[in-house]
């Protein structure tokens, strides 16, 4: 393979300044950081593999052990993960159903063989030399997502990652055999062993891409979508709304709300996925707000919608709902901002003071004042 000068410099930069802790260790940067460096993208977190070392040797150098099933260490200064080279053997169902071997005889190539896609199975050494026994660079140039080996069908997380990388690298095609293997993961029931936290992790990453719906398309193509996200509805309206959300740079929480907008199972899905509370709020409120919108709204209907959105206590959240809803349906967003401002600007304290001693009359007086404030902007 022939790398450009820019690519070679990017690979050499992955190791950074000389690190005394790494002296004498046969270690490599692997996976996504190498892939992104070759693509000219900003590298995220770096993962390291150490070949021919023991856990005791790393601990003696000051590396902090954090691994559970297999030895993983944190660099004491950078906190980057260093894993001993390992092989794996299927021993049960799901992505946790593996036993690992991390002996000093495990080679770099053997470690790379256990990875998901060829473009994620490259490594670079301290001299900036690319190690690519599985021809990931050729697939990177050809824009192909291809599985590393037959073990792909043993781990359902690889199916999730394939779909998520299809969303991130939307101009990459998926190798036909890889898609066949993805289908096998559904047919053999492995996909049913996925845990909610891992599904959410991959979905969340896909939502941040330029083509998040491609993840859903890949999952649907192999038959996994209804098993992983039962009841999800994706139609032309959802596609248009998601396109708008990406173009406008909406948050992943807003994008999730739009993705699930027309899905009757949306609240069950976010509960199943154990999504953060802020995401659940938008998944609940965005469809509710859209349902209330119609032409020629009265001041009463506007006020009820604002109250239901809890705009007084959560104005920032209402702004998020408003932005998301505007991607889904025609909406005068500035008009709603005016109404929200007028609704919130009513001095409830002054009204309460004016009606002192008339407790039952206070809420109605405040409500009428808010209706009047909205009416002034109709």
pLDDT digits (tens, 9 = 90+) for 151-167: 899 899 999 999 999 99
pLDDT, one tens digit per residue, over 126-183 is 999 999 999 999 999 999 999 999 989 989 999 999 999 999 999 999 999 999 999 9
- Count of all residues that appear for the chain in the document: 378
pLDDT, one tens digit per residue, over 23-33 is 999 999 999 99
Categorize the per-residue pLDDT at 296 as very low, low, confident or very high, splitting at 50, 70 and 90. confident
Which residues are CB-contacts of 173 (< 8 A; sequence separation ≥ 6)? 143, 144, 145
Backbone conformation region of residue 296, classed left if phi is above 0, alpha if psi is from -120 to 50, else beta: left
pLDDT, one tens digit per residue, over 259-286 is 999 999 999 999 999 999 999 999 999 9
Residue with tokens 């809803």: 325
Q: Is residue 131 within a helix (H) or strand (E), and if so which, with residue range?
A: strand 130-131
Give the residue from 147, 49, 183, 155 showing the smallest Cα distance to 106.
49
Give just the sign of the alpha carbon dihedral 129, 134, 140, 145: negative
Instruction: Show which of 111, 142, 173 is a domain's final residue.
Output: 142
Is pLDDT of 220 > 80? yes
Q: Which long-range contacts (CB under 8 A, 24 or more apart) does 215-220 make?
A: 215/163, 215/164, 215/166, 215/167, 216/163, 216/259, 217/166, 218/162, 218/163, 218/166, 218/167, 218/174, 218/179, 218/182, 219/159, 219/163
Task: Name the pTM for this structure.
Answer: 0.92
54, with CB counted inside 10 A (0-12, 13-18, 19+), is middle
Q: Quick check: is 21 in a domain? A: yes
Residue with tokens 């992983």: 228
Give just the sign of the alpha carbon dihedral 101, 106, 110, 115: positive
Same domain, 134 and 174: no
| Counted domains in the chain | 2
Phi, psi at 235, each rounded to 5°: -135, -170
pLDDT at 232: 97
Same domain, 23 and 43: yes
d(CA 273, CA 283): 13
Query: If you average pLDDT over every residue of the chain, what do you get?
Result: 93
Instruction: Show which of 196, 229, 262 is a domain's final residue.
Output: 229
Which residues are CB-contacts of 151 (< 8 A; sequence separation ≥ 6)? 88, 90, 113, 114
Same domain, 17 and 130: yes
Same domain, 104 and 158: no
pLDDT, one tens digit per residue, over 234-262 is 999 999 999 999 999 999 999 999 999 99
Is pLDDT of 202 > 90? yes
Is pLDDT of 44 > 80? no
Categorize the per-residue pLDDT at 94 as very low, low, confident or very high, splitting at 50, 70 and 90. very low
Residues 86 and 106: beta-carbon distance below 8 Å? yes
Q: Quick check: is 275 in a domain? A: no
Same domain, 52 and 137: yes
Same domain, 14 and 104: yes
Instruction: Show which of 142, 177, 194 is a domain's final residue.
Output: 142
Same domain, 125 and 10: yes
């Amino acid at each position: 393979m022939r790398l450009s000068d820019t690519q070679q410099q990017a690979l050499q930069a992955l190791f950074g300044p000389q690190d005394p802790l790494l002296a004498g260790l046969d270690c490599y940067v692997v996976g996504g950081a190498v892939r992104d460096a070759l693509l000219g993208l900003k590298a995220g977190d770096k993962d390291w593999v150490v070949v021919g070392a023991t856990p005791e040797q790393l601990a003696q150098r000051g590396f902090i052990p954090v691994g559970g099933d297999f030895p993983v260490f944190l660099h004491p200064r950078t906190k980057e993960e260093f894993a001993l080279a390992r092989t794996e053997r299927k021993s049960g169902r799901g992505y946790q159903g593996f036993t690992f071997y991390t002996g000093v005889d495990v080679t770099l190539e053997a470690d790379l063989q256990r990875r998901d896609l060829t473009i994620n199975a490259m490594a670079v050494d301290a001299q900036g030399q690319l190690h690519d026994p599985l021809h990931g660079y050729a697939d990177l140039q050809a824009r192909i997502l291809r599985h590393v080996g037959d073990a792909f069908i043993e781990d359902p997380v690889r199916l999730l990652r394939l779909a998520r990388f299809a969303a991130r690298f939307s101009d990459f095609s998926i190798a036909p055999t890889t898609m066949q293997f993805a289908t096998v993961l559904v047919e053999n029931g492995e996909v049913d062993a996925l845990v909610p936290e891992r599904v959410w992790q991959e979905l969340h990453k896909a939502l941040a891409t330029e083509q998040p719906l491609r993840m859903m398309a890949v999952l649907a193509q192999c038959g996994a979508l209804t098993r992983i996200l039962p009841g999800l509805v994706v139609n032309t309206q959802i596609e248009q709304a998601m396109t708008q959300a990406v173009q406008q740079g909406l948050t992943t929480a807003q994008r999730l709300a739009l993705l699930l907008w027309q899905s009757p199972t949306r609240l069950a899905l976010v509960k199943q996925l154990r999504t953060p509370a802020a995401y659940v709020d938008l998944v609940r409120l965005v469809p509710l707000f859209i349902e209330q919108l119609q032409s020629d709204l009265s001041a009463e209907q506007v006020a009820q919608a604002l109250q239901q959105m809890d705009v007084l206590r959560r104005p920032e959240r209402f702004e998020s709902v408003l932005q998301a809803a505007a991607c889904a349906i025609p909406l005068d967003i500035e008009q709603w901002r005016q109404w929200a401002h007028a609704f919130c600007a009513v001095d409830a304290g002054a009204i309460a003071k004016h009606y002192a001693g008339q407790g039952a009359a206070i809420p109605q007086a405040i409500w009428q004042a808010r209706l009047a404030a909205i009416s002034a902007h109709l």
